[in-house]
């Protein structure tokens, strides 16, 4: 049996945890999350489903220290120890594959291998008892997360054109934030954990380029890398495609006030959509994913946070958890 891979955002994890603990949440939805938790628990036990953990779960759980241990327990029960790699590593692995394609190397074709996003195969049987999620402290990132949310909420980004124009701008911003700014920070002596990661990734790209082309000088490699980053090969990288598309749609939506959580929601979608069968997120991100056609492009069923979505997701999971009849 092939497992269905579901990603539940932190809002879902929080409600499921509170429902499991009997902590009072909105009475109108409490029973629905209790039923969803029971269905998920059964489907995971039957090796019919798995709900991987991500960096974003850890980051958000640390922001709620009162119930963080219980959030980790819920994540442990539903993940079978399956965890996404750090989002930057996933982006970089996708970028390396795209660079191989850009340089015409055979073997650089699109692959849906789990190795691009996970350390272990999510289809492996769930261990019994379920492996707990290691509660690794990420204190240095907690304040950074809070400050980024505040800054993002205050940010007013003027649109530069239509959706495609804005999408190209957001792709360039992603390159700047992830590859260029870490180098600038290093030159200024301001290197944090994310800057170190960015420096490592750009070094790996330069090394890969040299290996593939036997580039004589680093200057030649750097120039060709710039051509790659401004090409359609890079904007088609799944993370860059999803991230820039959603960011562009948010910028162009002048009717809605920017929320501090938007940036995380976009980054989560960009990280997990290519590797999951089901994505449970908030209603606005669900709507944008469907309007942009990202659910069809990456073959993902998307659920929001409304009662109807929770009921529909519960029904789907209940079907997954049913044992096949003898002889089936």
- Mean pLDDT, 10 residues at a time, over the chain (328 residues)? 93 91 74 92 94 91 84 92 92 91 66 81 82 60 55 63 90 86 75 72 82 64 80 93 94 75 89 97 95 97 94 95 58
Tokens encoding 299 = 């073959």
What does residue 131 show for φ and ψ, rounded to 5 degrees? Answer: -70, 135
Rounded distance, CA 11 to CA 259, Å? 15
Positive/negative CA dihedral, 85, 133, 260, 285: positive
Burial class (CB in 10 A: 0-12, 13-18, 19+), 254: exposed
Q: Look at phi and psi of residue 153 and say left if phi exceeds 0, alpha if psi is from -120 to 50, else beta.
A: alpha
- pTM exceeding 0.85: yes
Rounded distance, CA 60 to CA 41, Å? 22
Tokens 């995380």 label which residue? Answer: 264
Nearest CA to 112 among 280, 240, 276?
Answer: 276
- The pLDDT score that the predictor gives to residue 255 is 75
- The pLDDT score that the predictor gives to residue 37 is 94
Positive/negative CA dihedral, 154, 142, 201, 92: negative
- The pLDDT score that the predictor gives to residue 227 is 87
Q: Which helix (H) or strand (E) holds 314?
A: helix 307-321
- The pLDDT score that the predictor gives to residue 325 is 47
- The pLDDT score that the predictor gives to residue 327 is 47
- The pLDDT score that the predictor gives to residue 312 is 96
- The pLDDT score that the predictor gives to residue 328 is 44
Please, what is the Cα angle at 295 between 263 and 115, to 5 degrees? 80
Cα of 123 vs its chain's centroid, Å: 19
Rounded distance, CA 221 to CA 9, Å? 39
- The pLDDT score that the predictor gives to residue 193 is 64
Q: Which residues contact 307 (CB under 8 A, 6 or more apart)?
A: 28, 29, 32
Rounded distance, CA 44 to CA 166, Å? 40
Long-range contacts of 29-37 (CB under 8 A, 24+ apart): 29/307, 29/310, 32/307, 32/310, 32/311, 32/314, 33/310, 35/314, 36/310, 36/313, 36/314, 36/317, 37/74
- The pLDDT score that the predictor gives to residue 10 is 94
129 preceded by a cis bond (ω within 30 of 0):
yes
Rounded distance, CA 12 to CA 200, Å? 34
């Amino acid at each position: 049996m092939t497992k269905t891979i579901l990603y539940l955002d932190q809002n879902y994890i929080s409600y499921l945890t509170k429902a499991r603990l009997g902590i009072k949440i909105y009475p109108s939805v409490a029973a629905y999350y209790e039923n969803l938790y029971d269905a998920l628990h059964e489907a995971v036990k039957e090796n019919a489903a798995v709900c991987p953990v991500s960096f974003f779960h850890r980051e958000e759980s640390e922001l709620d220290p009162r119930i963080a241990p219980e959030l980790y327990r819920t994540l442990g029960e539903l993940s079978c120890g399956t965890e996404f790699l750090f989002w930057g590593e996933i982006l970089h692995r996708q970028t390396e594959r795209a660079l191989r394609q850009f340089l015409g190397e055979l073997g650089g074709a699109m692959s849906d291998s789990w190795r691009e996003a996970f350390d272990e195969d999510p289809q492996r049987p769930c261990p019994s008892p379920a492996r707990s999620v290691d509660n690794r402290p990420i204190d240095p990132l907690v304040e950074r997360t809070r400050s980024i949310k505040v800054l993002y909420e205050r940010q007013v980004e003027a649109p530069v054109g239509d959706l495609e124009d804005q999408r190209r701008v957001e792709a360039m911003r992603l390159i700047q934030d992830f590859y260029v700014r870490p180098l600038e920070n290093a030159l200024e002596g301001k290197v944090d954990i994310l800057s170190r990661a960015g420096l490592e990734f750009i070094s790996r790209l330069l090394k890969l380029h040299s290996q593939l082309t036997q580039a004589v000088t680093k200057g030649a490699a750097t120039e060709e890398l710039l051509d790659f980053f401004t090409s359609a090969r890079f904007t088609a990288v799944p993370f860059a495609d999803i991230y820039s598309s959603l960011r562009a749609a948010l910028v162009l939506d002048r009717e809605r006030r920017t929320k501090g959580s938007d940036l995380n929601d976009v980054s989560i979608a960009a990280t997990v959509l290519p590797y999951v069968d089901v994505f449970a997120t908030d209603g606005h991100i669900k709507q944008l994913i469907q309007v942009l056609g990202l659910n069809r492009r990456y073959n993902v069923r998307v659920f929001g946070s409304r009662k109807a979505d929770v009921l529909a997701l519960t029904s789907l999971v209940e079907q997954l958890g049913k044992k096949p009849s003898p002889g089936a």
